[in-house]
Structure 1
Amino acid sequence: MKNQNETPLFDALKNYQKDNIISFDVPGHKKNSKGLAEFSEVMGEKILQMDANSMKQLDHLSNPTGVIKKAEELMADAYGSDHSFFLVNGTTSGVQAMIMSAVKPGEKIILPRNAHKSAVNALILSAAIPVYIQPEIDSELGISTGISVKNLEEAIAENPDAKAVFLMNPTYYGAISNLSKIINLSHRNGMAVLVDEAHGAHLPFSEELPKNAMKLGADMAAVSLHKTGGSLTQSSALLLNEGFIGYSSVKTVLNLTQTTSASYLLMGSLDVARKNLSVNGEKRFREILQWLREARERLNKIDGIYAFGKETIDGNGTYAFDETKLGINVNKTGLSGFEVYDILRDEYNIQVELADTYNILAIVSVGDTRENLMALVDAIEDLVEKHREEPFTVKCIPLCNPKIIVSPRSAFYAEKKVVSLKNAVGEISGESIMAYPPGIPIVTPGEKITQEMIDYIGLLKEERTVLTGTEDPEVNNIKVLGMN
C-alpha cells in the first residue's frame, strides 16, 4: 500500500504558483487579472496562477514520467488496479478508450441496452458491433436494474466470438449486478470485462459499500471522481488490470482523443480527491450512510413516498445496492417524478440529479451534510402535503432490445433524410434520442424505429423532459437512413 497522504501533482502545482514565474508560454491570461479580469474578480487570482501549461516540473499527461505518473500510481493503488490514467475529458473519454482498446472494427461487444450515450458513441468510433442484453426491470419502481448472469450466459452462448462485455456499476439508481460471477464467466470465455463505474467512484472507500469492479478482477473501469468522489467537474480516472489489455495500447488510444492541453486544475483536484477518499473515506461514508438510513426511515413514513434501498436486492438484476443513491418513488402521491423534480428546484431551491415518470434521484456524496439531507426530507414532506393529487397510473412503456439493421458507425456515415418523428416508425435511425440526464439512449444510429419508441418519446415530451441527440432542437424530426 502506497502512502495515500501524498499529493505529488498538487504539491508541484502549489510550488509552481509560489515561484511566481514570468510566463511567456500559454495560457494567454498570463496568471493575472489583466488577462481575465472579470473572471478573476469572482474566482480569485490564485485560480489563474494555478492554471498552468505542461512543462518539465509539472509533467505531461500524454506521456507522464514525473509527478503525474506518481499521482496516477497512487490512484491505481487506491482503487486496487495495476494502472490508472487521469482523464480531463470526463468518463466519456474513458468509456471510449475502454471499448476502442478492447474491440477492433467489426468485432462484437456485449452490453446492456441502457448503457450511457458515451458507449454508443464509442461504438461509432471503434466500428464495433453491439450485442445488446436487456437489463432486468423493477416493474414496481418503473426502472431498469442490472444484468442477470443468466442473460449474459445466453448472450455469450449465442455470440462466442464476442471480444468484450461492458456493463454499468452501479446503475443510476444504485443497482449492482453480480460482478464477480460476470467477470469469471466472461474471462472463462475469453472476453474482457469493461465497467462504466461513473457513479461508483466512492465504492472502494467503505466496507459498508459493495466492492468495486477492479478489486473483483475487471479488466478496465472508468470512474467519475467528480460525481461522487469530490474532484472538479470533468475530471475522472481510467483504471486497468493488465492481461486481456495492455498498458501501452490503452495509452495510445487515449492519446487519440484526449486533449494535449490538459487542465492542471482538474488533475490537481483528482490528486486531492483521491487522498481525501483514501484517508478519510471510511469515516466519512460511515456517517453519510447513517444519515441516509435516517433519511430513508423518515421518507418512508410519508404517505405515498417510498425511498428504496437494500430491500430491493433480489439476487438477479440487483445483486447488491449502493445506499448513497437515494432513489425516491413518488407516483403514489399523484405526482410524477418530473413534477417533484421541478417543484423542489422552483419552490425549495433544491436540485436533485434526475427524475423519471415514477421517481427522483438524489446523489449523496463526500461533500454533503446531514443538514442539507434533512432539508431535502423536510421539503418532500412539505411538497407532498401541499401538492398531493389523486393517485394515478402512468403508462410505463417498456423498451425492448431494438433491432439493429446496420452498425452504429455505418449509420452515422450513411446518407440520411429528415422525417417527422411521428412518421418515422419502421425507418432506420441516423441519430440518437435520449433524455438528459441520465443520457441513456431511447434510439441510436442503425436501429429500427418502433412505435413504442415514438410513444415513449411522446410521454417524455408531455412531462417536459429535456431531450437531446437530434439536430432538431425540438425533437419533432429525426434523421433516418436514405436519400430525399
Structure 2
Amino acid sequence: MPKPAKMLEQRIDHFFSMPAERADRWRDVVAAARAWSVGRADQNAAEAAFAELGPIEGFHAFPGSALMARLSDRLRGGDAVGFTDLVRRVSAAIVTRDFKYDPAEWRTTEEVVDTPADVLPPTLRHGDAKRPYFEMLIVAPGATTQAADQIAQLRNLRRPEDAFIYEIVPVDSFEDAICAAIINPDIAAVTIFEGFNYASRHSAPVLRSVLSGLGLDGARAEDADLALLLANSLKRLRPDLDIYLLSDRQVENLAGDARSASIRRVLYAIEEPLELHLSVLEGIQDRFETPFFDNLKRYARRPISTFHALPLARGKSVFKSDWIRDMGEFYGINLFLAESSATTGGLDSLLEPTGNIKRAQEMAARAFGADHAFFVTNGTSTSNKMVHQAIVAPGDIVILDRNCHKSHHYGLVLAGGQPLYVDAFPMTEYSMYGAVPLRSIKKALLDLKAEGRLDRVKMVDLTNCTFDGHIYNTRRVMEECLAIKPDLVFLWDEAWFGFARFSPVLRPRTAMGAAAAIETWIHGLAAVEAYEKQQQELGSDPTVDELLTTRLLPDPRKVRIRVYQTNSTHKSMSALRQGSMVLVKDVDFYTVESQFHEAIFTHASTSPNQQLIGSLDVARRQMELEGYGLVLNAIEISLAIRRAVNSHPIISKYFHMLGADGMIPAQYRESGFVDFLAPDTTWASQVRSMHDDEFCLDPTRMTLVCGTAGFDGTEFKALLANVYDIQLNKTSRNSVLLQSNINNTRSDVAQLVRVLLEISNGIETRLARGGDGERNALAARVKSLMTDVPDLPNFSHFHEAFRQDAGRATPEGDMRTAFYGAYDATGCEYIPLHGDECNRRLREGPEMVSANFVIPYPPGFPIMVPGQVITEETIEFMRKLDVKEIHGYEKARGLKLLKPEVISTKLRH
C-alpha cells in the first residue's frame, strides 16, 4: 500500500520516541481494524492507521516482509476479520516481545502447522530454554529487494548449540543504516557489504540535519570510503555494536587501514557465510560473558566445606536454625551458597585482582570507554575518596564546586588538599544551586597563575550531572582549563549519570566521552594549526577579560589527558546498592598507579560483598547488550511524564515540571534551546544544545514544583511515599525530583499521573467547600513557599588562621587543620543559632569559625566547612530552613565553633 510522503516525512524523524510510538501505532491499527470489522468504521480508517506505521517497520526484523505483505493483502482484499485477527496477533507480539521466543508469531497464517524447525525464525523446539534474541543489520546493495534470500541463508546456518538467536534487518543505504541503528535498540550487530547507496529512499530532513552536524552528510561521503565511513559513524553513535565488513577487495589492506579500527572483523565477501555467522555469535558471547558472576555461579554449585570466618557461607547456620530460617526462605539458597571470605578455589580478590575480577574490570573499562575500571563496593562516596587520596597530596590546591557531595570535602580533609571553592549559579526561587560557570573556574586558574601559584593546582573536581540534572559541557571545560594548565587532573563525579554512556546524545557530555573526543582532536592534523591561529589572534599579552571571554584551545603538543570518573552504577543501572566504579583515562596513570592501589587498600573493605561485585559485572553486561534501548526508554518515560503533567488541565493548575528554561539561565543556553517539549523543538534542536550550550538538562531528571499546590518538598515526598507508595529521595523547599531510569515502565507513568490528579482534585474540592478562607490560606502557603524564600548563601571565606600559605587573590584554605583542630573538645564552643550571642558575634566579633561540616538536607551540600567564617548570610539561611535533618548541627547545643583563643594561637604560629 503506498504511504503518504508527508506521513513518511513526519514519522521517520521521531526516532528517539520510536519504540513507544511504534507500539502505540500498532495499537491504533488494532483499534481501527476492530471498528472496521464490526461496522463502526469503514476500510479507509484502517488503511490510514496502517499507513501510519510508515517505513520504520523496515528497520525491524519483526513482523518482516512476509507478514506485512499478508496484512496488506487482507486489507486490500477487504478481509476485515482476517486483517483484524492478524494485526491483533502482530501487535500483541510486539508489545509482549513474544516474537523473540515463539516461532508461531512469525507465521503468516493463524493455522497451526508443523513447519520444519530449520526454516522458522527464532525457533525454540519444545522444552528448550529461551535463548537471548538480537537482530543484525545488513547493509548491502539491493538488500531490501533480496532480503528473503539473505535471511533464509543465515537462518539455515542455525544450530541447536548456538547460545543466541538472531534475525536480519536489511537496508541498502547509509542513511537507512543510521536510522535503523537509532530506531531499533534490538540491533546488536551490523554486517556491511560494499556498494550500497548513501541517500535513503525516504524523506528524513531532521535526520539529515543531525548527520550534517556530525560531519556525516552526503557531500563528505562522496570523498570517503562509504563502508568505512558508515562503520565509524555507527560506532560513534552506538559503541555497543559489533561491526563486520564484507569486501571483495584485498581484505588484508582493509584490515590494516587505520580507519577500520571500529570493525570487529573484515571478511572476504565470497567466503563461507558460516564464518560470518560464527563471528557474530562470538561477538555477542564476548559481551555476554560476565567473568566474576559466571565464576560465582559455578562456585555456588560446588560442595565446599568452609573453615573460615564467615558462618553465613553455604547457609547451614541459617537453614538449620529454628529461629532465623525465615531469612533463608526470604533471600533464597543461592545468596548463601555464593558467599565466601576466601579468595582462592576459583575466586579472586577485589583488593588485588589477578583472575576473573580483573577480567571483569577490563570488560567494564571497554564498555564505558575507559582505560581502566575499578569496582567499588562501598558506594561512590568511597570512590571519590579513593581518587582524592591517589591524586592529591597535602598542600595541593583542588578547584571544586562548594555544592558537591560531602565525600569530596571529606576526601580533601583526608588527603590534605586545599579546596578552592567555586560557586554554582543560584536558583533561589527553588532553593537549589545549578552548576559552576566555566568563567568562574577559568578565573580561579588565571588568578592563581597571576600569583605564580598555578603549579600548586592539581585537580578540578565537578559533579556531572548534578543531582538536579545540570550537565556540564565537559569537553569545553577540560579544553579551556587545559589551555591554562595542560597537566590538570579532572575528577568528574557522575554518580547519577553512568547510564549516559549508552545514549548517543548524552555520551559526548560524559567524562569518558569528552576525554575520547579531546584525545582524537589533539592527534588530528588540524589541532596545532587551530591552536597557533588562536594564539596569533590573542597576541603575546592577552588581558584577563580576553581570556575569560574567549573559547580557549589548549596546545595539543602539551596536553596531558588525565580524567577520572566515578560512577554510582547502582543509581542508574542494575547493580546492588553501593555498587560503584572508578573509570580512568589518564595518560600518566603509571605514575600514580601504586598510590591508587594504596587508596584502594585504605578505603576498600577486606571483606567485600560477593553479590555486589557480581551485580557490577552483570550491570556491565546488560548495558553493553541492551543499554541503548533501556536508556532510550528512560528518556521516553521522562518525556511522557513531562507532557502528561504540564498539559493536564487540572494537574497543571497546581503542579508543573520545570523545563530547561526554568532550570538554566538563558546566558548558558547559547543555542536558544528552551525545553524538550516546547513548540517547534525537535531532537535536532536537542543535539545542537548538547553540542553548543554551556549547560544542558538531563531529560531523565524532572523537577516537579509542588509549592504551587501548597506542599513543601519534604511534606510532599512523605505524602507520596506514605499514602500512595511512590518513592523519591530528593527535595527542595518547594519541589521534588523525579527520576526516570531503566527500571520504569509506562504503568509507572500512569500511576503517577493518577495520583497527581487525585491530589489536585482534592485541592479543588477543598477550595470549593472552604470558600475564601480556604483560598486565602492556600495563597498564603504558596507565597511562603514560592516567594518568601531565603537567599542561598555562597561560600564566605576561610579564616586567615587557615590561609597562611594561601594567595591573596584566591580563596583556598587549609580545611584539614581546622577539621582536626576540632578534635580537641576544650578548643571548641557552642553558640545557639537563634540566641542573642549569635547576633552579637555577627555584629561585634570575634568572628565565628565553623569547627565542622554543617549539611542541611535539603539542599544537601555543606553550608559550613571547617575553618570557614560564618556570615550573616549563612545564619539567615539556616534560620529560614524548614528541614528536619541537618548533619553537623545539634539543635540543643547550637553551632559548633572553634574558640577565638585557639584561632589566635594558630595565627601567632
Same fold (TM over 0.5): yes
Q: TM-score range by the shorter chain?
A: over 0.9
Q: What SS is found at the alignment partner of 2:754?
A: helix
Counterpart of 2:615 (choices 245, 269, 280) is 269
Distance 2:621 2:578 in 1: 18
Deviates more, 1:377-386 or 1:313-322: 313-322
RMSD over aligned CA atoms reads 2.2
Q: What aligned pairs does 1:39-438 form with structure 2 within 5 A after superposition?
A: 39-56=327-344, 57-159=346-448, 160=454, 161-188=456-483, 189=485, 190-211=487-508, 212-217=510-515, 219-245=563-589, 246-301=592-647, 302-311=652-661, 312=663, 314=666, 316=668, 319-387=695-763, 389-390=778-779, 391-392=782-783, 393-405=787-799, 406=802, 407-414=814-821, 415=824, 416-422=827-833, 423=837, 426-436=847-857
Deviation, structure 1 residue 315: 6.1
User: Which one scores higher on RCO, CA 8 angstroms, separation ≥ 6?
Assistant: 1
Distance 2:791 2:479 in 1: 34
Change beyond 3 A, Cα 1:265–1:436: farther
Deviation, structure 1 residue 387: 4.3
Distance 1:475 1:87 in 2: 38
Answer whether contact 2:857 2:883 (CA < 8 A) is retained: no
Higher helix proportion, which one?
Answer: 2
Answer whether contact 1:197 1:221 (CA < 8 A) is retained: yes
- Confirm whether residue 480 of structure 1 aligns to residue 897 of structure 2: yes
- Deviations along 1:281-314, one digit per CA (max 9) or x if unpaired, are 1111212211211110111131142212444454
Answer whether contact 1:9 1:67 (CA < 8 A) is retained: yes
Q: What SS is found at the alignment partner of 2:863?
A: strand
Answer whether contact 1:421 1:478 (CA < 8 A) is retained: yes
Distance 1:120 1:138 in 2: 22
Change beyond 3 A, Cα 1:263–1:476: same
- Confirm whether residue 27 of structure 1 aligns to residue 310 of structure 2: yes
Change beyond 3 A, Cα 1:4–1:315: farther
Deviation, structure 1 residue 192: 0.7
Deviation, structure 1 residue 235: 0.9
Change beyond 3 A, Cα 1:203–1:476: farther
Deviation, structure 1 residue 172: 0.5
Deviation, structure 1 residue 145: 1.2
Distance 1:315 1:184 in 2: 20
Deviation, structure 1 residue 109: 0.3
Q: What SS is found at the alignment partner of 2:638?
A: helix
Q: What SS is found at the alignment partner of 2:587?
A: coil
Distance 1:118 1:235 in 2: 16
Distance 2:403 2:622 in 1: 32
Change beyond 3 A, Cα 1:374–1:404: farther
Distance 2:758 2:850 in 1: 44
Q: What SS is found at the alignment partner of 2:722?
A: helix
Change beyond 3 A, Cα 1:468–1:334: same
Distance 2:884 2:506 in 1: 32
Deviates more, 1:169-178 or 1:46-55: 46-55
Q: What SS is found at the alignment partner of 1:111?
A: strand
Answer whether contact 1:149 1:178 (CA < 8 A) is retained: no
Answer whether contact 1:91 1:198 (CA < 8 A) is retained: yes
Which amino acid in structure 2 is aligned with residue 305 of structure 1? Answer: F
Q: What SS is found at the alignment partner of 1:239?
A: strand
Change beyond 3 A, Cα 1:418–1:40: farther
Deviation, structure 1 residue 358: 2.1
Change beyond 3 A, Cα 1:18–1:436: farther
Deviates more, 1:325-334 or 1:162-171: 325-334
Gaps of 5+ in 1: none
Deviation, structure 1 residue 354: 1.2
Counterpart of 1:469 (choices 888, 896, 902) is 888
Answer whether contact 1:186 1:193 (CA < 8 A) is retained: no
Answer whether contact 1:353 1:363 (CA < 8 A) is retained: no
Answer whether contact 2:797 2:869 (CA < 8 A) is retained: yes
Distance 1:86 1:134 in 2: 31
Which amino acid in structure 1 is aligned with residue 610 of structure 2? Answer: Y
Change beyond 3 A, Cα 1:436–1:13: farther
Which amino acid in structure 2 is aligned with residue 366 of structure 1? Answer: I
Answer whether contact 2:646 2:657 (CA < 8 A) is retained: yes
Distance 1:78 1:354 in 2: 29
Change beyond 3 A, Cα 1:276–1:145: same
Distance 1:228 1:77 in 2: 18
Deviates more, 1:369-378 or 1:314-323: 314-323
Deviates more, 1:171-180 or 1:133-142: 133-142
Deviation, structure 1 residue 23: 1.1
Answer whether contact 1:27 1:52 (CA < 8 A) is retained: yes
Distance 2:588 2:696 in 1: 27
Change beyond 3 A, Cα 1:155–1:421: farther
Which amino acid in structure 1 is aligned with residue 347 of structure 2? Answer: L
Q: What SS is found at the alignment partner of 1:163?
A: strand
Distance 1:250 1:201 in 2: 21
Q: What SS is found at the alignment partner of 2:586?
A: coil
Q: TM-score, normalised by structure 2?
A: 0.51
Distance 2:705 2:874 in 1: 23
Distance 1:9 1:136 in 2: 43
Answer whether contact 2:656 2:706 (CA < 8 A) is retained: yes
Distance 1:342 1:29 in 2: 36
Deviation, structure 1 residue 267: 0.5
Answer whether contact 1:208 1:286 (CA < 8 A) is retained: no
Distance 1:43 1:394 in 2: 49
- Deviations along 1:412-454, one digit per CA (max 9) or x if unpaired, are 2113423134155531111212134664212111111223323
- Deviations along 1:183-227, one digit per CA (max 9) or x if unpaired, are 112333131111111111111012243531112116101100011
Distance 1:33 1:373 in 2: 43
Aligned length: 480
Deviates more, 1:346-355 or 1:8-17: 346-355
Answer whether contact 2:404 2:462 (CA < 8 A) is retained: yes
- Confirm whether residue 454 of structure 1 aligns to residue 875 of structure 2: yes
Q: What SS is found at the alignment partner of 1:84?
A: strand
Gaps of 5+ in 2: 1-239, 241-282, 319-323, 449-453, 516-561, 670-693, 765-777, 803-813, 903-909
